[in-house]
Structure 1
Amino acid sequence: MKKISKIILIISIFLAAAGSYASGEDLELKAESAILIDGSTGQVLYSKDEDKSMYPASTTKIMTLILALEHSDLNEKVTVDSKTPFEVEGSHIALEPGEVLTMEQLLNALMLESANDAALVIAKHISGSVEEFGALMTSKAKEIGASNTVFVNPNGLPDANHVTTAHDLALIAKYGMENSQFRQFVSRTNSVIPPTNAKEEQRYLNNSNKLLYSGRMIDVNGKQVPIMYEGVTGIKTGYTDDAQHCLVASASRNGTEYISVVLKTDKQNLYVDTHKLLDYGFENFQEQKIASKGEIAENLSWNNRLLKGSVVEDVYCKLPANATARIEKNISLSPKLSTPIRPGDTIGEVVYSYDGKLLASSKIVSNESLEADKPASERSMFFVLLGTGALVTLILIRIIYVYRKRKKRRKSKASAKK
C-alpha cells in the first residue's frame, strides 16, 4: 500500500462572543474536581482537575443502572442470594435471602435509596459474581470513552482500585441519558416496593438528590436560592468517608441540557457547587454554527497530489455568548486513504477546538474524482516504448536525410557531365 502523508492545517477563525471559558478559580468551587459538559455533544465548558483520579462513591451506580438496563428486562424476577444480606455495608433496603423482586424494584432501590445490597444482587444476577460485573463495568466505561475509570464493585464502596475522574463520570452520565428508561430512574423522586415473599410491609424509597425537590435555601454567589434546580433532570449523589460528597447532575432548559460533576466536596457546598456549574452553562453559553455543510477544504496535499473536499454536515458548538472565541480548525487525511477516489468518499476529518478544548468534529468528503496511479511496471513500459519510438523516429529521419542528400549529389554529378 502506498505511503500516506498526513497533513494538519491550522486556521484561526474569529466569532463574535465575550470573555472565555472560566478558569479553575473563576467559579470558586469547593470541590476538589469538577466539570461541566454539553449533554448533547460532550463539549467541555468548564473543568477543574477533571482528569484527576478520584473515588466515585455511589455515583458508581450510574454504570450499574446502565448495564442492568442493557442486560436485563425490568419485569424479570431476581432472587436475592444467601450471602448478600450479610455482606452489605452502608445504605441498604434490608433484602432477605431468597427474597424475590423485579429488576425494576431493585433499580429503584439502587437509584433512590442508593441501596448497596440491591447493587450486589443486580451484579450477581447479571454476571454471576461481583468481580465479573466489575470487569463488565470497566469494559463498558472504556467503550464509552471513560478510559481512566476502573470499577471493582457495583456500589462504590471504598476500594483503592475503584477510581474514576470527573470527565469520565460526565461521559458515562451522557451515555446513560441517551436511554429514556435511564432518564426515568435518575429523575424519579420516590417509589414503593410492595410486600414480597419475604417482607409483609411496603418499603418506601426516596431519592437523596435534593436538586429534584428540596425547597431548602442555599447561598449561591450571595443570592439565596432553593436547592431544587430549575429544569433538573437527574442524576445521582454519592458519599463515603474517602470520597466525601459527590454529585453528578443534569438540567435542561429550552432544548439545551448540561451535565455537571462535583467530586470530593463538603455537604454544605455540594449543591452550591452544582448550582454554580449549571448556572455558568445556562448564563454564559449559546449554540453557534461554526461550519456549514459543503464548506470547501481546498489544497489538501496527499502523495504529491492536491485534493479538494468539503464538510459533510453543519457543525454547531456552545461558545461564550459575549466573547471573541478563537477556533482552531485541524484537518487530517485518513491514514487508509487510497485511490481511486470518487465524489462523496470520506477522505479525512476536521476537528474544531477552542482554548485547547475539543468543540466538535466532522467528516471531510471528496468533491472530485482521483484515479489510481498506474503500476510502476506499466509506467516503466510506457517510458520504454516512448523512448523506443523516439529512437526509431530519429533513425528514420536520419535515413531519409541521408537518402535525400545522396540523391541530390547524384543529380548534381549528372548535370555536370552534360
Structure 2
Amino acid sequence: MKKYTSILSALTLSIGLLAPSSLSAYADQNSELDALKSKYVVLMDYNSGQVLYKKNATHKMYPASTTKIWTSFCVLEKCKDLDQLVEIKDMPEIEGSSMYLENGEKFTVRELLESLLVHSSNDVAYVLAKHFGDGDPKNFINYMNEEAKKYGAKNTHFNNPHGLPDTDHYTTAMDMAILSRTAYGNPTLSKIVKMKSVSFKASDRIKVERNLVNSNKFLTSGDSIDYKGKTIPIKYDIVDGIKTGFTDDAGNCLVSTAKKGDIRIIANVFFAPAGSLYHDSRYLLDYGLDNYKSVTIYKADKIKGEKSVKLASPGKIKYRLANDYSITSMKGDPSSTEGYTYKYNFDKLKMPVKKGDIIGTMNIFKNGDMVSSIGLVAENGSQTYLQLVLSKLGIKSADKSDKKEVNTDKKKSEYKKAEEEKDDKKSEDKKSQGQDSKSENSKSGKNIVGKIKKEGSSTVNGVLGIFSSIGDFFGNVGTHLSNAKKTVSGFISSIKSFKPSNLSIGKIMSSDFYKYLEKEINNKIGAVPAPIIIFGLPILILIIILWLIISLIKDIILGRKYKDEDKKDDNENKIEEK
C-alpha cells in the first residue's frame, strides 16, 4: 500500500498543473456538451489527469453519497488487514440507504467496503468511520479532510462519512474529480466498484442474509434511455465504476468511468435533473473516448540516471522516473506532442537515502510552462561518511520528516500523530527498562559478555554522557582541585613543570582526572572496562578522522568527473517529434 501511495502521489500533482486552455480551440465541439442539463460537470482523462471538459467546476456543491468514494479510500489507507472483523456495537439510527446492521454482528472490513460502495449503505459508513477513528467518527472525518487537501482538493470539507445533507459538508466538481481519480487508483477499490452485486449469507457472525445490488445503473439496469435520437439500454458494458449519489440538496450525482483501448475517462456529473443523469454521463464518456487518445510523452523505463553525492558512500545514487508521463490529445492532432522539455530538480535531496525514496523531481514543461512534476525514485541507498560512522557506532540519525513527500502537500494527520505518540511512549518504556537493566548489571558485576550484548546501544549513550560529565568537570574544576588538595596556583605550576618524559601510563592512571573519568565510566557503563574507553576511544576517533580525510581526498579526485556528469543530466532534454 505504501508503495502504491508513493507512486500515486507522484502522479497526482499533474492534476492541478494541467490546464484545459490548450483545448479552447475545440470550443465549437463542446457546444453540445454545454447543452447537457446537469449543473456541475468535469470530464477527466484518468491517466494524465487532464480536464477535457468542465462546467461550473469550481462552484460549491453537495456531493451526496459520492462522498463514500473518499471514505473508502481513506479506510484503505488506514487498514492493514482487510479481513479483520469489525463488531457492530451501539448502532445509532441513520437515515437513508442502509444495510440495516444489527448490534452483535461481525463483518470484515472488505465486506463493509463492498456494502458501502455497491449498495451505498450509510450505516456502514458510520461504522467504518467509528472503527478507524479510534471510536470517534470525528477523528476519521478529520483524516478525510486532511487527506483530501493533501491530494489537491482545496475547496472541500467533509462533515460526515456518508454524504447526508449538511451545510458544512461540501465540495466542487473539480475536487471530486481529483479525489475520484486518486481513489480509483487503489486496486481494491477499483475492483469493488465494478461488482454488480454482493451477498452476505447468514452465519454465526451475520444474523440476517443480505443480497445487495449495485446502485450504478450502468452496471445492472434493464431500463432504457433516449440517447441521440434512439432508445438504448442504460446498461453500458464498458463502464466499470464508480459511485452514485442522491439527496434533495445535491440532486442526482454519478461518478462513472469507462475504458476503451489505452484511454480511460472519468465523468463527474452532479445535480442532474430527473432523467438526465445517465444520459449526460454517457454523452460525456462517449465524447471523451471517441475524440481523444492517450499519448505517453516520457516512459518511466527510459528515464534513468545517477546523482552524485559528495562525502557519501556510495558516491552516486541511481534513480528512475516514478511513472510514465502521459497526456490526452485530440485524435488527429500531432502538434499536441510538441514543445515538451524536462529538467531535474534535486533541491530536496536529504541524506541518508534508502532504496525507494523520492530524491528529486523531473519537472516537465510545455512551451516553457511547467505542466507536471514527477518523482525520481532512488534505486540504491547512500549515506554521508558521518552518518556511516554514526551507524557503525550504533547511533541512528534522525528520520527525515518530509520523506517521500514529493508532488503533494503531505501533512501529518491526527491519526499519525497519535501513532507517533504511541511509538514515543514505547520508546520511553524501552529506554527506562534498559536503564534499569544497566543499573542492575553494574551492581552485580557478573556476566560481562552478556552485559556488553545487552547494553550495546546504551554504551554509546553512556560515552556521550561521559563527555557531558567532562564538561561539568571542567566547569567545576576549582571544586575538583580543592577536593584533591590542590590550588589553582599549584595546578598552573604543575603545567609549567610538565615534561613529556614525565608522562607514563602509570602516572596518567594515578591522576585525579583519570580517576574521575574512571568513576564516571563505571557509573554510566558497567559492562565496558574504563581503560578501554579512556585509551581506546581517542585512538578510534583518530582512525575515523584519518579515514574521513582519505575519503575526502578521494571525493576531490572524483569530484570533477561527477560534476561533469551532473551538468549533462541537468541539461534540458527535448522530446523527439512523434
Q: Mark yes or no: TM-score above 0.5.
A: yes
Q: Which residue of 2 aligns with 1:375?
A: none
**Counterpart Cα distance in 2 of 1:331 and 1:218:** 47
Q: Which residue of 1 aligns with 2:69?
A: 62
Q: CA deviation at 1:139?
A: 0.9
Q: CA deviation at 1:353?
A: 8.1
Q: Summarize the alignment of residues 27-176 of structure 1 with structure 2, pairs less than 5 Å apart.
A: 27=33, 28-72=35-79, 73-84=81-92, 86=93, 88-127=94-133, 128-176=135-183
Q: Which residue of 2 aligns with 1:319?
A: 329
Residue type of the alignment partner of 2:327: C
**Counterpart Cα distance in 2 of 1:353 and 1:273:** 35
Query: Larger deviation: 167-176 or 314-323?
Result: 314-323
More strand by share: 1
**Counterpart Cα distance in 2 of 1:75 and 1:337:** 38
Q: Which residue of 2 aligns with 1:308?
A: none
Q: Is the 8 A contact 1:21 1:46 kept in 2?
A: no
Alignment length, in residue pairs? 329
Matched-pair identity in %? 35
Q: Summarize the alignment of residues 356-375 of structure 1 with structure 2, pairs less than 5 Å apart.
A: 360=372
**Counterpart Cα distance in 2 of 1:192 and 1:283:** 36
Please state if 1:26 is matched with 2:40: no
Counterpart of 1:271 in 2: which secondary structure? Answer: helix
Taking a change above 3 Å as real, the CA distance of residues 262 and 325 of structure 1, as seen in their structure-2 partners, is farther
Q: Summarize the alignment of residues 142-291 of structure 1 with structure 2, pairs less than 5 Å apart.
A: 142-196=149-203, 200-288=207-295
**Counterpart Cα distance in 2 of 1:33 and 1:334:** 37
Q: Is the 8 A contact 1:19 1:320 kept in 2?
A: no
Residue type of the alignment partner of 1:320: M
- 1:109-133 C-alpha deviation (Å, 9 max, x unpaired): 2112211111101110110222111
Q: Which consecutive residues of structure 1, in runs of 5 or more, have no partner in the other structure?
A: 1-14, 295-311, 339-344, 372-418
Taking a change above 3 Å as real, the CA distance of residues 46 and 325 of structure 1, as seen in their structure-2 partners, is farther
Counterpart of 2:32 in 1: which secondary structure? Answer: coil
**Counterpart Cα distance in 1 of 2:330 and 2:124:** 43
**Counterpart Cα distance in 2 of 1:98 and 1:362:** 47
Counterpart of 2:90 in 1: which secondary structure? Answer: coil
Q: Which residue of 2 aligns with 1:349?
A: 363
Residue type of the alignment partner of 2:83: N
- 1:365-405 C-alpha deviation (Å, 9 max, x unpaired): x986569xxxxxxxxxxxxxxxxxxxxxxxxxxxxxxxxxx
**Counterpart Cα distance in 1 of 2:348 and 2:204:** 63
**Counterpart Cα distance in 1 of 2:203 and 2:275:** 38
Q: Which consecutive residues of structure 2, in runs of 5 or more, have no partner in the other structure?
A: 1-21, 304-320, 350-358, 377-562, 569-578
Higher relative contact order (CA 8 A, sep 6+): 1
**Counterpart Cα distance in 2 of 1:176 and 1:368:** 39
- 1:36-60 C-alpha deviation (Å, 9 max, x unpaired): 1111121111111112111000000
**Counterpart Cα distance in 2 of 1:102 and 1:367:** 57
**Counterpart Cα distance in 2 of 1:118 and 1:231:** 28
Residue type of the alignment partner of 2:363: E
**Counterpart Cα distance in 2 of 1:275 and 1:44:** 17
Query: Larger deviation: 109-118 or 270-279?
Result: 109-118
Normalised by the length of structure 1, the TM-score is: 0.69
Taking a change above 3 Å as real, the CA distance of residues 359 and 336 of structure 1, as seen in their structure-2 partners, is closer
Normalised by the length of structure 2, the TM-score is: 0.51
Counterpart of 2:363 in 1: which secondary structure? Answer: strand
**Counterpart Cα distance in 2 of 1:362 and 1:347:** 5
Q: Is the 8 A contact 1:19 1:324 kept in 2?
A: no
**Counterpart Cα distance in 2 of 1:145 and 1:347:** 18
- 1:290-321 C-alpha deviation (Å, 9 max, x unpaired): 57979xxxxxxxxxxxxxxxxx8985411111
Residue type of the alignment partner of 2:157: V
Q: CA deviation at 1:276?
A: 0.9
Q: CA deviation at 1:99?
A: 2.2
Query: Larger deviation: 319-328 or 72-81?
Result: 319-328
Taking a change above 3 Å as real, the CA distance of residues 23 and 168 of structure 1, as seen in their structure-2 partners, is farther
Q: CA deviation at 1:207?
A: 0.6
CA RMSD of aligned residues (A): 3.5
